[in-house]
Amino acid sequence: MTTEELKAIQADKVVDSRGTACPGPLLAVKQAMADIPSGGVMQILSSDAGTKRDIPRWAAKKGHEYLGDFEEAGFFTLYLKKA
Amino acid sequence: MAKKMTIGLSSSCIDKLTGLGVILSGAAAEDLEVDLFILVNAGHAFLKNKAENLKEMSDQVQTSEEFLKSLEQLKTPHWIEFFEMAKDMTTVNILLCSLAGKIAGSDAKEDYIDLVDDICGIGEYIDSAGEADINLFI
């Protein structure tokens, strides 16, 4: 998806893990998954560079759809759709 | 069936325990089942009167004060908190080898923090390691 398409998504849950280091963002995402329904979309905000590799890899293993990410204002914004 | 990871821990050093905490977090995210065996010199770290205030470092690139300060700046949890989070998120069995207990001064479960599930013998570690998909020795 393009950055514009990602920005247009209305997320069901926002996980703001900015300021935490690995493995903080991954754990926050894993815990927050219980809060959204199947098909729901999660937006993740992270300032940890490892997140850009870790979250898509984890999502693929768990069967969730990784929608994409963009970097802006010094942090990453990532989107996942729950299986 | 969940994949299984078996870990033998033989250190009471705070840098190694923190690294193990990070690994346990990754295991929890992957829904791995974990058996953690506290061996030889690792019993000290889990004693009720020591766990919160460990200062020993295995790697001397930083002092323990510098190391703990860097963790705080990075908002990285204390190793005990990492272990607790992993236990909340997946199955983590933490067993203290009775020899490690004796070396630490007690093989009574009540002298150890609540993270420790039970006291065991080395045979259980060997069995667990034989069944595991991933084996680590720290």
Q: Please name the member of B30, B74, B85 whose beta carbon is closest to the beta carbon of A21.
A: B74
A2 is catalytic: no
* A3-81 under CATH 3.40.50.970, yes or no: no
B22 touches chain A (CB under 8 A): yes
The domain ranges of chain A are 3-81
Which tens digit of pLDDT belongs to each residue from A45-65?
Answer: 999 988 998 899 999 999 999
Closest chain B C-alpha to A8 CA, distance in angstroms: 29
Q: A52-60 long-range CB contacts below 8 Å, 24 or more apart?
A: A52/A76, A52/A78, A54/A22, A54/A23, A54/A25, A54/A26, A55/A25, A55/A26, A55/A29, A55/A80, A58/A26, A58/A29, A58/A30, A58/B29, A58/B30
Q: Which of B58, B65, B62 is nearest to B13 (CA)?
A: B58
Mean pLDDT in residue range B13-41: 96
Contact A27 B28 (CB under 8 A): yes
Measure the CA–CA gap between B98 and B106, rounded to whole angstroms.
9
Domains, chain B, in order of start with CATH, read 4-137 (3.40.1260.10)
Measure the CA–CA gap between B53 and B66, rounded to whole angstroms.
15
Q: Which of B21, B25, B26 is nearest to B54 (CA)?
A: B21
Name the active-site residue from A3, A14, A19, A22.
A22
- By three-state DSSP, how is residue B31 classified? coil
Q: Which amino acid is at A64?
A: H
Measure the CA–CA gap between B68 and B71, rounded to whole angstroms.
5
Which tens digit of pLDDT belongs to each residue from A7-38?
Answer: 999 999 999 999 998 888 999 999 999 999 99
pLDDT of residue A49: 83
Q: Please name the member of B29, B76, B85 whose beta carbon is closest to the beta carbon of A58.
A: B29
B103 touches chain A (CB under 8 A): no
